[in-house]
Structure 1
């Protein structure tokens, strides 16, 4: 139950062949100056044991990115302190931008995506992460995302 993006908001396809850029399913580097990891914003679904998740990208400092990369395949990495980062995924279903929301990236066991914890602000996404969402809200999100995907595919056809 969730949706994911393939690249940070600032990624441009022209970076794909550049020697100082990298985009994998888990990590991204742009111009050897900007560093990103992919993680999950998990939102509890009220009235059940389900979790809704957004697969998002977070920018990290060079030092935090290097540390996370060094420990990528290391057992016990989940005992690391969280890394501070900035959300670099736009989730257009929210009325206010999700770009540059403050986050903490919690490393989890090898093979699991990091957990992205939003700073507890009044942004609707942060509120949903703290308080949970109903199954009806999950349906609303699914409908909104499907409309956005349809609109995007129509734009590329014309």
Structure 2
């Protein structure tokens, strides 16, 4: 999922609430690739329209937003974690950084995880009864 090459998938609700899609990347110790979660984050109006106009530019941002996806793997809800979107250009979705807190998602993103834990997360989602993100 890391490096998802897609055009932007922005959403505006009643021209009042604005959301963009990005990727939270979790580094894996001693491994060259990361584990990625596709997520939604809120954006203020100005940043949303800047992204629409320049979605393929790494020259914008970073932009603050609230995480609007609950990642089911984490027992502690992930909704409304403070995040920053870093734009990468090259038709890549923004990289989303979770604010450094004691939340398990933030700890995993900032400290990295073992390959064993990465596989645990993958298998969690392979169990169709878990559903969701």
| TM-score interval (norm. to shorter) | 0.7 to 0.9
Q: Work out whether 1:116 is the aligned partner of 2:96.
A: yes
TM-score (structure 1 length as normaliser) = 0.74
The residue number in structure 2 matching 1:97 is 77
- 4+ runs of 1 displaced by more than 2 Å? 149-152
Q: Which structure: greater helix fraction?
A: 1
Match of 2:32 among 45, 49, 62: 49
Distance 1:93 1:126 in 2: 13
What's the offset of the Cα at 1:79? 2.3
> Any stretches of 5+ residues in structure 1 without a counterpart?
5-23, 153-158
Count of residue correspondences: 128
C-alpha deviations, 1:122-146, integer Å up to 9, x for none?
1000000011111110111112112
Query: How far, CA to CA, are the matches of 1:129 and 1:95 in structure 2?
Result: 16
Contact 1:72 1:110 in 2 (8 A): no
Larger RCO (alpha carbons 8 Å, 6+ apart): 2
In the TM superposition, residue 80 of structure 1 has moved relative to its aligned partner by: 2.0
Shift of 1:83: 0.4
Larger Rg: 1
